[in-house]
Structures are given as structure tokens and as C-alpha cells.
Amino acid sequence: MPKFTSETGREAGRKGGPVSGKKKQEQKNAREAAAMLMHMAATGSVKQAITKLGYEENEQTYLNGLMVKLYLMAMDGDLEALDRLMKYSGYDPEENRKEAESVAQIKQKNVELQIRIKELELKMQAANGVDLDAEESTDVMIYLPAVETENDIDALNEEYESQFGEPKNEEDELEVVAIQMPTEVNTEA
């Protein structure tokens, strides 16, 4: 028996590639052919059964004929047909339960996320000196560019004066205070 090596593996892959592609193409063709047959206009006894149940002319397909047959089998007491019909029509209790659990989990995650966001907002406010217990706060937070040196402060003051001129009185003077800026600030509202 020959020993399996990387070379024999490559050779097997080269041989299997075209075969695999041909097999996938055949499966695709079979699916397309089945879909085409299912959507063809029904004839004969299938058309008569569909018509009796009130299907419109454009809905009288073999697919709907199969659903009618499944329905009639279920009505005659075939529990397997009933089970399949229930699943196809969206009344599968197990699937509905799984979907409801999934929706509930997503809602729970959203609630937890909102709580976490609120906690982070409160921590950020507390870190920036906002009085969380005050009824009304007169503090205004202004986020400025990071200031590294005294020259940066002087440059900011000069830029202010060039845009707005000298302050008219003491109340109009701005006080530049060095503060620690967060390295990342989320600007999304």
C-alpha cells in the first residue's frame, strides 16, 4: 500500500477538483429543475383540486398542489402530514419557542447594554467634577484640544484674541485651566 505524502495528497486534490465541480453543477441543475417544475402551472386533477379550494389562476402551481395534497392527508388523520404542514406554515411550536427565546435574549442584552452605558456616563460625569446630586448645575463643560505646554496655552490665548479681540472687562476674560483630557472621546450622539 503506497504511503500517503503531501505529493500524493496534491495529486488526489487535482483529480478530485473537477469531479467535485461537476457534482456541484449537477446538484445546482437538479435544484433549478425541481424549482421550475414546482412553479409550473398545474393541470388535470391537481388543477381541479386547487380550483375547488379557491386558488386564483396565477397561484395554481404544482407546489400549491402538493400543499393541498399534504393538507388533505392531514385532514384524513395522517399525523406526519399534519406535522409537516404545521412546520411549513410556521406553526412549529419548537421553532416558535426558539425564536421567542432568541428575541428575549436580544432584548435582555439591549437592556444590559443601556444600563452599562448609563453607568459609564455617570462615571465620566463624576470624573469630570459634575455634581450629580445638584438640582441645577451652572457648570459648563467645554472640551478643548489637549494642552501639553505653557506655549500651547499662550497660542490658544493668542488665537482667541485674534478672533474676538481683547476682553472688555474682567468677567469676559477666559481662564485657561490645565486638565487631563481623555485619550478617546466618543463624538457620536
pLDDT greater at residue 77 or residue 180 = 77
DSSP 132-189: TT-SS------------SHHHHHHHHHHHHHHH-S-SSGGG-------PPPS------
The three grid cell numbers given for residue 48, joined into one nine-digit string: 381541479
**41-87 pLDDT tens trace:** 888 888 888 888 888 888 888 888 888 889 889 999 999 998 888 88
Confidence at residue 147, expressed as pLDDT on a 0 to 100 scale: 58
**Per-residue confidence at 124, pLDDT binned at 50, 70, 90?**
confident
Residue 144 has pLDDT above 70, yes or no: no
The pLDDT of 3-29, averaged and rounded, is 77
The pLDDT of 21-32, averaged and rounded, is 81
The pLDDT of 5-18, averaged and rounded, is 76
